[in-house]
Amino acid sequence: MREPATPAPLPLRERPAANRAVFAPSSFLGLGPAVFSRGPAGEAVDEMEASRRSRKGAGGCLAVATPTRRLGLRRTLATLALVTLPALAAYHNSFSGPFIFDDIRSIVDNPRLHHLATALPESPENGGTLVGRPVVRVSLWLNHAWGGKEVGGYHGLNLLLHVLSAWTLGVLARRLLESPRLGARYGEQSFGLALAIALLWTVHPLQTESVTYVVQRSEILGGLFYLLTLYGVVRSITAGGRRRKLWSAASLIFCVLGLASKETVATAPLAALAMDRVFFAPSWRRLWRERGGLYAALACSWVLLAMLMAASHQRMGSAGFGLGMRPWDYARTQPYYLCRYLLLSAWPSALTFDYGAYVARTVGEVVPYAAVVLLLLALTLLALWREPALGFCGLWFFLVLGPTSSFVPLVTQTGAEHRMYLPLVGVMGLAVVGGYTLWRRVGALPPAIRRAGPALILGLAVLALAARTVARNEDYRSDLSIWRSAVENWPANPRAHNNLGNALANAGRLREAIAQDEEALRLEPDFPEAHNNLGLALASGGRFTEAIAQYKEALRLKPDFSQAYNNLGIALEGEGRLPEAIAQYEQTVRLRPDSADAHYNLANALVKAGQILEAESQFQEALTLDPALADAYENLAWLYATHPDASYRNGSEAVRLAQEAVRLKGNHASCLDTLAAAYAEAGRFSEAIGAAERALVLARAEAETSLADQIEARLGRYRAGQSFHEGSP
């Protein structure tokens, strides 16, 4: 895939003197040296043109030399098998990792993925990671259709798509190494070199954020269709007749599907054009004459991208101009990230899940990294002039990263490791082909070492990278572990501290949670989510007055913050300020009418306030929005079974609701207690006694002493043939 600086003779092989190369001007840019050989009449002929002359069939049809179809098929299938096994080894411990961060809103709490008819249209409910990406949403709908919210299936499909991407990369790299530009130098080694590129790319730990973090499936699908687009272009170049048209059409379809998966696929037409000129076309004029229509068609796919961006409202305000971050601030930060990406490609030791919205502000944060990037750009241009195949590596890196790492702000994350999913191809290609070329030039090596050395080095590299990937997947085993690693590797990110605080609070470690929330606010005082999470941690410890102050500050900073209204209602209810709590719940429902939890919380407060009809309506709305909300079934069943006013009681309906709650929650003491009360209200006392006895055993086993005492008292009433109502002695 990469051309060495100077042509070297193949090992153990001597070429005839008449075919030795001389140099004359011609290159990717039309200016620099290219390899020439002698034609039949002794004239100098471009090596790529000579290759074409020697490979024309009887009908004069151009056909780039490749292995026989049968050998090619065997190598293609071998590539699939050989990348699958290391991928499974590297990601075997990823399948049980939970949904984390954006997975929750985009997948777990997204009812639109439950049906294809609702998954396809654009909606803010899809979350910022899924808007404008209908192909990704359809793939997640398939996951839900197959296994609901069972996380292993989502991880499995991510890994399958990653393996398919690696397979496509392997067969694409092999065809480029057999192209007119590189075939004479690397054609015989094309299978091994392409496989090495694919293997290293597959198991590299920098890919874990794309593969193990479920919602980043957009990166994998975009990468897969990007590579397929280029593969289709290569096949259309080397095929003839009708097959050429079919492969051209396939490349266009792949490009469209890619744009509907990830916006960075917009650069695929440009990458395909550059690839054609570097590896196949002897001149720009001939390229445009023979395949200009194909590239014009690929460029038309940008219309689809514009439509998707418009429909997603600049990806819900997360990408584009006028969204709170100046293009210059974003652009001057990117050199640091580009250098970090390259460092992590070579030494992936401090991988970070979330870099936040870091912006470079000082000279020391900008100038050194900008100088490195400018040097790399200059070397890329020089290589495109002198050694186009080598320059294509740098061009690939900068081109694929262009949409996310230039001047168009992505305001939620100025840097992210998943953006290296495809650019890593260029780095691995340069490392493999460049390393192999240098190895061939090392003299005084025994033949056995010369032959076995590259395979041994590759094996050790794959093992080392795969082991690091396995270790990195362990960080994804819980919210707590992934956010702890993020804080350790990027302590200046307030969002990481905030999310670590949330994870610690969920684990019951309130003191540590409060410390993390306070650190987040030290780094960013006007951070409404951190104020909200600090309030949650304080409220969990019974410190309602302090929690209320944090919620109010969050609402001052973000007046439409529905979660803060809901949590403020809970804290006010905890202090016994029920009318104020109901007002906050009602505001939450106004802001989030689609939130089952908001309706459920309002319903419970209305019951306490004696507004039974209004509460019943809110319970029903919650169950309409979320038919699996077990607590709503249980509380409504309790209301129908035990309310002191007989006009509100309904024994048969209470039984139905309580049975559904038990089905959803299993044998839980409170659920069985509710079911027993419902049976008693319906006059089914023997069943009420059985349910209450099971509830009593569970409550005692779980050391819920107060609940056990209440159940025991109610059990006595059921044995006496009496139902239980609130306020009963």
- Please tell me the predicted confidence (pLDDT) of residue 563: 94
Residue 458 tokens, joined: 């590759």
Residue 129 has a pLDDT of 84
pLDDT at 36: 33
HSE of 110, CA atoms in CB hemisphere, 13 A: 31
Question: Average of pLDDT values for 469-484?
Answer: 97
Stretch among 108-112, 441-445, 506-510, 689-693 having the lowest mean pLDDT: 441-445
Q: What pLDDT, on a 0 to 100 scale, did the predictor assign at position 647? A: 92
Burial of 349 (0-12, 13-18, 19+ CB in 10 A): exposed
Mean pLDDT to the nearest integer, 520-539 = 96
User: 193 and 177 in contact (C-beta within 8 Å)?
Assistant: yes
For residue 425, give the nearest of 222, 133, 187, 251 by alpha carbon: 222
> How does pLDDT run across 1-46, given as a tens digit for each residue?
333 333 333 333 333 333 333 323 344 544 333 333 334 333 334 4
Residue 98 DSSP symbol: P
Closest CA to 557 of 596, 530, 591: 530
Q: Could you tell me which of 5, 708, 102, 55 has the C-alpha nearest to residue 413?
A: 102
* Sequence-ordered alpha helix ranges (H) in 476-493: 479-489
Mean pLDDT of the chain: 88
Residue 34 pLDDT? 39
pLDDT score recorded for residue 370: 97
The residue among 396, 404, 466 whose CA lies nearest residue 424 is 396
Q: Write out pLDDT tens, residues 181-191.
A: 999 999 999 99
pLDDT digits (tens, 9 = 90+) for 600-639: 999 999 999 999 999 999 999 999 999 999 999 999 999 9
Q: Report the SS3 class of residue 38.
A: strand
- The pLDDT confidence band at residue 58, using thresholds 50, 70 and 90, is very low
Among 665, 664, 659, CA closest to 677: 659
Structure-derived torsion over alpha carbons of residues 122, 127, 130, 131, reported in degrees to the nearest 10: 40
